[in-house]
Amino acid sequence: MNISSIVVRCMPEYYDEIINWCNSSGVCEYHFGEKSSGKIIVTIEAEDVNEEIAKIMEIQRVEHIISAEMMMTYQEDLDEAFKELESASDVPDLLERCTKEEIDPKSVVYHGDLKKKL
């Protein structure tokens, strides 16, 4: 289970509307806010990172929300995440191949995922 805190920003005139959405959406839980600045603190709970990202994106798509940014996250299954990172060899392999001059680093175009580039 992942639990994350999200800072949501909106214009002050939409503050109450956004609080109502947070309380009724089932996506997040409202904890604190400041109407004059339009800042709202919510938490989300998710089974995994994919669900966590989906919930953040759902919050970001709500009308009148300017931004929704994750500030902190907690993962109960952090050991599993570390095992997954340790077993992922694509990026280190790519870096090693660039170091050995098998691949010209200037030819690598990065769009957020090196695994899909080679």
For 8, other C-beta atoms within 10 Å of its C-beta total: 25
Whether 16 and 34 have beta carbons less than 8 Å apart is answered as no
- The domains of the chain, with CATH numbers, are 2-78 (3.30.70.920), 88-116 (no CATH)
Whether 38 and 10 have beta carbons less than 8 Å apart is answered as yes
**pLDDT in the model for residue 64:** 95
Q: What would the pLDDT profile of 64-112 be if each residue is shown by its tens digit?
A: 999 999 998 888 766 776 777 777 655 556 666 666 667 676 776 666 6
pTM across the whole model: 0.64
Question: How confident is residue 5, by pLDDT bands cut at 50, 70 and 90?
Answer: very high
CA distance 78 to 64: 34
Conformation bin of residue 64: beta by default, left when phi > 0, alpha when psi is -120 to 50: left
Whether 64 and 10 have beta carbons less than 8 Å apart is answered as yes
